[in-house]
């Protein structure tokens, strides 16, 4: 069974990497970004830094989200926020979210949206502390018919001032 799981994990990794490469090659530079956090290294060391966190940011126009955004035509969508287990609880996710804020200013977006699982209180606290607020949730039939965990839509109105981010 472990071999079976390893095979599918490798397949999953390859699919994620292929999707990332496709987005990076085919998206205009102000429509998609993959932001990363690297581990600190000794200034005298020439060793390669390790990747410890990642987040995807995409410009979108989904009407289910836009109805919550006063007058917006599009917004930035944050997805795939992940931090390596050995680097969690060190504010790396918060820094990645700040980088998303900076990107929203650089690209001229007024809103950032993301989805979190309703029962993932740790993630929801992280997003709330970063200024996101819950505006809606998946419909009740979503969990019963499809069998997936219910998610909430969280929105943040961006500031257009770099100084407010510091």
**CA-based nearest residue to 76, from 94, 102, 51, 54:** 102
Residue positions annotated with a catalytic role: 127
| Domain 31-40+51-165 is found in CATH 3.40.630.30 | yes
Rounded Cα distance between 94 and 111, Å, is 17
Structure tokens at 156: 């943040």
pTM of the model: 0.79
Rounded Cα distance between 23 and 107, Å, is 17
Q: What is the pLDDT of residues 75-128, one digit of tens each?
A: 999 998 989 888 888 899 999 999 999 999 999 999 999 999 999 999 999 999
Rounded Cα distance between 86 and 149, Å, is 26
pLDDT range class, residue 1, cuts 50, 70, 90: very low
């Amino acid at each position: 069974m472990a071999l079976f799981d390893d095979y599918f994990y490798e397949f999953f990794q390859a699919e994620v990497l292929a999707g990332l490469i496709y987005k990076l090659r085919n998206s205009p530079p102000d429509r998609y970004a993959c932001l990363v956090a690297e581990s600190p290294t000794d200034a005298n060391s020439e060793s390669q830094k390790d990747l410890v966190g990642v987040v995807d940011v995409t410009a979108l126009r989904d009407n289910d989200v836009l109805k919550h955004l006063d007058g917006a035509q599009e917004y930035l969508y944050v997805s795939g926020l992940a931090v390596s287990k050995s680097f969690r609880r060190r504010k790396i996710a918060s820094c990645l979210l700040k980088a998303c804020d900076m990107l929203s200013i650089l690209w001229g977006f007024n809103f950032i949206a993301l989805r979190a699982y309703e029962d993932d209180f740790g993630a929801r606290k992280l997003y709330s502390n970063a200024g996101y607020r819950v505006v809606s949730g998946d419909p009740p039939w979503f969990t019963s018919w499809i069998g997936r965990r219910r998610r909430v839509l969280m929105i943040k109105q961006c500031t257009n001032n770099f100084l407010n981010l510091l």
